[in-house]
């Protein structure tokens, strides 16, 4: 059985944005899957360039985050029998901000296409690759926190990678 070891501390903002935080793993996974799905769906259009795809991706994540925050704040109100108020909404928003933050690194990758540093297609591939890496890291993070065996860790990481690769595969197939 693997020891229950905390994941390494993050040394940079980039790592926090790419990998999320231990406390916000669900939002990081959810946001990353949304980001990757938008990239896969939108990048196949001949009429959408890297800038438009970046705007669509960020807007989609923000709208879904708002819906997520609103729904959870309402659910907490129903559970506790209290009215929806600013404190409840901002509390949920803070807890779920990792959904929005999951779009920062892929958005930056797309900006490389916008700026002409790489082609739009390469920028999308980079963004999808970073998303897949993020999902793998979340699998490792979970396995460490749950003190999983090596074989169980491999299964969890494979499941997370499978989600990412399924999205990348759908992009390639269609």
Question: What is the pLDDT tens value at each position of the chain, 174 positions in all?
Answer: 445 545 545 456 656 665 566 667 888 999 999 999 999 888 877 777 899 999 999 999 999 999 999 999 999 999 999 998 899 899 899 888 889 999 999 999 999 999 999 999 999 999 999 999 889 988 998 898 889 999 999 999 999 888 888 887 776 676
Within 10 angstroms of residue 126's Cβ, the number of other Cβ atoms is 18
Within 10 angstroms of residue 89's Cβ, the number of other Cβ atoms is 17
What tokens were used for 158?
Answer: 């494979």
pLDDT at 16: 60
pLDDT at 149: 94
pLDDT at 84: 87
What tokens were used for 99?
Answer: 């959904």
Rounded to whole angstroms, the Cα distance separating 113 from 163 reads 25
pLDDT at 31: 93
Within 10 angstroms of residue 84's Cβ, the number of other Cβ atoms is 13
pLDDT at 22: 60
Q: Coil, strand or helix: which one is 82? A: coil
Inter-CA distances, 3 with 56, 69, 153, 156, Å? 42, 35, 12, 16
The residue with tokens 């797309």 is 110
pLDDT at 26: 87
In terms of Cα–Cα distance, which of 2, 20, 34 is closest to 167?
A: 34
| Burial environment of residue 121 by CB neighbours within 10 A (0 to 12, 13 to 18, 19 or more) | exposed
pLDDT at 71: 94
Domain ranges of the chain: 13-173
pLDDT at 44: 75
Distance of CA 83 to the CA centre of its chain: 30
What tokens were used for 32?
Answer: 């990353």
């Amino acid at each position: 059985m693997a020891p229950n070891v905390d994941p390494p501390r993050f040394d940079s903002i980039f790592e926090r944005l790419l990998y999320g935080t231990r406390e916000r793993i669900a939002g990081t996974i959810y946001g990353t899957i949304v980001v990757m799905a938008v990239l896969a769906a939108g990048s196949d259009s001949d009429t959408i360039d890297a800038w438009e795809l970046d705007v669509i991706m960020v807007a989609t994540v923000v709208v879904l985050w708002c819906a997520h925050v609103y729904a959870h704040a309402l659910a907490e109100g129903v559970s506790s029998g209290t009215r929806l108020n600013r404190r409840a909404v901002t509390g949920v928003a803070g807890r779920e901000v990792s959904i929005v933050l999951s779009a920062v690194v892929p958005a930056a990758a797309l900006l490389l296409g916008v700026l002409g540093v790489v082609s739009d297609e390469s920028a999308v591939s980079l963004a999808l690759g970073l998303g897949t890496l993020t999902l793998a890291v979340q699998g490792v993070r979970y396995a460490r926190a749950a003190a999983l065996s090596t074989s169980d860790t491999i299964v969890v990481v494979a499941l997370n990678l499978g989600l990412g690769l399924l999205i990348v595969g759908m992009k390639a197939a269609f």
